[in-house]
Structure 1
Amino acid sequence: MADPHSTRERSAWVLSRAGRDPGARRRGEKLAARARRITRDEAGAGDAGVAEVVTRGRFSRRWHKHEDRRVAWAVAYGLVEAGRALAVGPGLAIGWAAYGVLYKLVPTRGPLRWRRLAVVAGVVVPLVLLVVLSIGWFGGPVPFAAKYAALQAMVGAGRVAWLARAYGWEAVTGGSSGGAGTGPARPAPIVVRTPKPEAPPQPVPPTVVVMREKSDG
C-alpha cells in the first residue's frame, strides 16, 4: 500500500531547501527516517540494523554550544521558554492539535495546502474573532481573557499554516480532496499490444462436377 502522506517526497523537498537551518534539516531527516521505516514495513523487513541519526534538537544544540556557562544559560533559557509558554503556548498547542487532525484526514481530504491555511489564519479567523468580540462586548471594554483567547486562536491558525509548509506539503501534487490523487503523479501503466492470432484457413469443400451424357436425337 502506497504511503498516503507522501513522506519520502516531503522529506526530499524539506532537505533540498534546508540549507544551513538546523531546524529544517532536523525536520527533513525525521521525515526521511519515517519514509524508510514505512518502506521497511511494506517490505516486511522489520527494524533497521543501525540507528537513525538526525540533527540535534534546539535545546541540545544550544546546550552543547554554551559549554562554558551551561548553568547560567539553562536558567536564562528556562525563563525565556516559560515566558513563551505563557504568551503563546496555548496557541502553539492548538496549532499542533489542528495539524494532527488534518494529517489524519489526508487520505480522505487530500494534502494540506499552506496557502489556503494562511488565508484562513490571516483573514477568516481575525474576521470571525472580530465579529464575536464585537457582539459579545458591544460598546464595552473587552475582558483580558477574551483578548487572550482570541490571540491564541490566531496564533494556532498561523501555526497550522507554518507547519504545513515546514513539513513539505508543498511537494505533494494531486487533487485537493479525496484520497485519490494524493501524492506525486504516478506514471501510467505500460500496455503492450500484441497482434491477435489469425484464424486458421477454413477448408474449402470440394466441387462435385456431374458429367451428363448427351443422348442421340
Structure 2
Amino acid sequence: MEPNEIAQTLWTLIDTALSAPVPFITAIIFFGWLVWLAVRREYSTRLNNTESKLELSNARIADYERKLSGASPDEASARIENLEAQLEKLMPRRVTAEQREKIRIALNGTSGNISIGSDMACADAPAFSAGLTSAFRNAGWHVENPSFMGLSNPPTSGVGVRCADPGNPSDLEAATIKALHAGGVHFDVQPGRDISRHTAIPATDAQIVITPRVLD
C-alpha cells in the first residue's frame, strides 16, 4: 500500500468515526491499528530485503578483494593481461589466415625479393616462416627461405626485419615493416641486411629473420 493510499484510508476512517456511535468508533480505531501494523510489516520487510542485498553485495566485494589480494579492477586487469602475455610467449607462433590476408593487403602495389630465414634451433620457426612466406607470395613477392644456426644479434621479439640502414629503410623494407605491423606481428628493426649479390640468387630487397624469442 502506497503512502497516499494509506492517508486516504485513514482520512476516510476518521471522517466515518466522527459521525458514528462509540462502539463503531472503537471498531474503526481497531481496524486502523491493524492497517498500521500491516503497513509497518510491509516496510519492515522491504527494509530487511534491502539490508540483505547490501550484505550480499558487501560479501561479494570482500570475496573479490580477497581473491585479488586487494587489487583494484585496473590492477587486476593488468595482472590478467600480463599473465596472458606470458602464456602467449610460451605458445608456438603461427600466422593466422586473418593475419596473412592483412599482410597481403598491406603489400598491394609492391613487389620484390625477400629473404625469410629461420634459425634451425628455433622449434616454431618452420611453421611461422611458412605463414609469412605464404602471405608475401600471395602478394606477388619472390621469397627465399634460407636456414642458419644462431645470430650474433638475435631480435628480442624473435622476428627481425634487417635493413641496410634502419634509420632510412628503402621503399621495399618500409613496405615489409608496414605489412608486418598491419598483420599484428611483433618484430624488431635491425641493421645487417645482406646486400651482396650471389650467383643464381636474386638480389634481396628485404630480409626477415626468425629466431627463438627472448623470454622475460
Give TM-score, length-normalised by structure 1. Answer: 0.20
Looking at secondary structure, tell me which structure has more strand per residue: 2
**Higher relative contact order at CA 8 Å, sep ≥6: structure 1 or structure 2?**
1
Is the radius of gyration larger for structure 1 or structure 2?
Answer: 2
Looking at secondary structure, tell me which structure has more helix per residue: 1
